[in-house]
Amino acid sequence: MDAEQSFYQHIAQTSDHPMGLVVDKAEGPFIFTRDGKRYVDFISGIAVSSLGHRHPSVIEAVQQQLNKHLHVMVYGEFIQEPQSKYAELLTRQLPPQLDRVYFVNSGTEANEGALKLSKKHTGRHHFVAFRHGYHGDTHGSLSVTGRDVYRDPYLPLLPDVEFLEFNSPEMLESIDNKTAAVILEPIQGEGGIIPADREWLRAVRERCSEVGALLIFDEIQTGFYRTGTLFAFQHYGVVPDILCLAKAMAGGMPMGAFVSSSKIFEGFKQDPPLNHVTTFGGHPVSCAAACATLSELLKGDFGTKARHIEQKIKSTLDHPAIREIRGRGAMLGMELEEAERTRQVVEDCFAEGIILGWTLHSNTLVRLAPPLIMEDALLDDTLHTIMDILDRHW
């Protein structure tokens, strides 16, 4: 049985229509299929491959770590150099109160940890989240995800979650002295690329501080220069109590983290000890990859690159079919007039070797999130092909 047959017969499917690309290898901004076709990855494996695929520094770091050790112990017991080195490098980029990192394996695990940590620290169990927010598919993260269509099949979820309108100042008094935490994405990703308003985000921060609720920023998609700054909270000048990270963190290796203060993390050490552990969180190979990724990102002026990509995309994709291009940096969404033709555009791009996609919650929004290493010539070519395909349908 070849890989394709096995995929359809033995791999649990997530929809009736998988994209079904038969991947052979990937390099830089490209994915190559087994039959030799080249695709431009214009969504970075959903905001992961910011440095492109198989960045040489990441590959080298992984290989070096492979020669030393793989898993040696569950999280939090042994001192492993890649973890310590990365935690130091990461926290050096953050405001001083975000000085402790808890490593996990994925985005949803980072959010799970953040929710539990908030309960433990505040002794409260009420959460505030936002409509159209997306935080992952495990039970806790799903409980604070703001789309009923995804939540309803799995009810009951966490009982004490209240959803407010994103960017709406009206209901902020719902955040009160019973609230353990408020969780939000500074730029909603799967909800349709919706940036928070600066004043609103500041008001949320103020309200949380006023009532002693923790503020959790899910920067799983927005992190690591995707939006033009290392983290999106830097656009806003608003610092969360807990910062959740994953996706682009380790250059294509599985990795997540939630970052907070020593004081807040005290809760995880006692009552009882070991109340939040993970076997593979902070895997040494992933940490080595994360270290190489962040070092490369810091060297490369990737904030400027993300902003340059934004400007190029916004100025080139000028077409009557486009209602709006929104988002920041290289995390953009192109809103088209109508769902069926949007689907055709994405399909035609795919046929022409350009990988685009939707966001999870919107079928008229085309996700544009190229790797930050993409050169102008390839960017221009890709954008002109997208324009030609829009012409075909409108």
Positions touching ligand PLP (CB under 6 A) are 46, 106-108, 111, 134-136, 185, 189-190, 218, 220-221, 246
Nearer to ligand PLP, 204 or 321 (CB): 204
Nearer to ligand PLP, 254 or 348 (CB): 254
Instruction: Please give the Cα distance from 52 to 252 (Å, whole number).
Output: 9
Question: What is the residue whose two structure tokens read 């505040």?
Answer: 122
Q: Which of these, 43, 110, 128, lies nearest to 360 by C-alpha position?
A: 43
Nearer to ligand PLP, 90 or 142 (CB): 142
Q: Phi and psi for 387 in degrees, rounded to 5?
A: -60, -45
The two three-digit tokens of residue 93, written as one number: 């980029």
Instruction: Please give the Cα distance from 20 to 245 (Å, whole number).
Output: 28
Smallest separation, CB 145 to ligand PLP (Å) = 9
Nearer to ligand PLP, 220 or 291 (CB): 220
Nearer to ligand PLP, 65 or 221 (CB): 221
Smallest separation, CB 242 to ligand PLP (Å) = 13
Smallest separation, CB 135 to ligand PLP (Å) = 5
The answer to whether the CB of 180 falls within 8 A of the CB of 119 is yes
Ranked by CB distance to ligand PLP, the top (closest) residue is: 107
Nearer to ligand PLP, 182 or 379 (CB): 182
Q: What is the DSSP letter of 193?
A: S
Nearer to ligand PLP, 107 or 146 (CB): 107
Smallest separation, CB 88 to ligand PLP (Å) = 24
Q: Is 346 helix (H, G, I), strand (E, B) or coil?
A: helix
Q: 70: how many CB neighbours lie within 10 A of its CB?
A: 9
The answer to whether the CB of 221 falls within 8 A of the CB of 47 is yes
The answer to whether the CB of 75 falls within 8 A of the CB of 277 is yes
> Distance between the two ends of the chain, CA-based, in angstroms?
42
Q: Is 56 helix (H, G, I), strand (E, B) or coil?
A: helix
Instruction: Please give the Cα distance from 223 to 225 (Å, whole number).
Output: 6
Smallest separation, CB 221 to ligand PLP (Å) = 4
Nearer to ligand PLP, 321 or 358 (CB): 358
Instruction: Please give the Cα distance from 150 to 141 (Å, whole number).
Output: 11
Q: Quote the distance between the C-alpha of residue 361 and its chain's center.
A: 15
Smallest separation, CB 360 to ligand PLP (Å) = 7
Smallest separation, CB 53 to ligand PLP (Å) = 18
Smallest separation, CB 190 to ligand PLP (Å) = 6
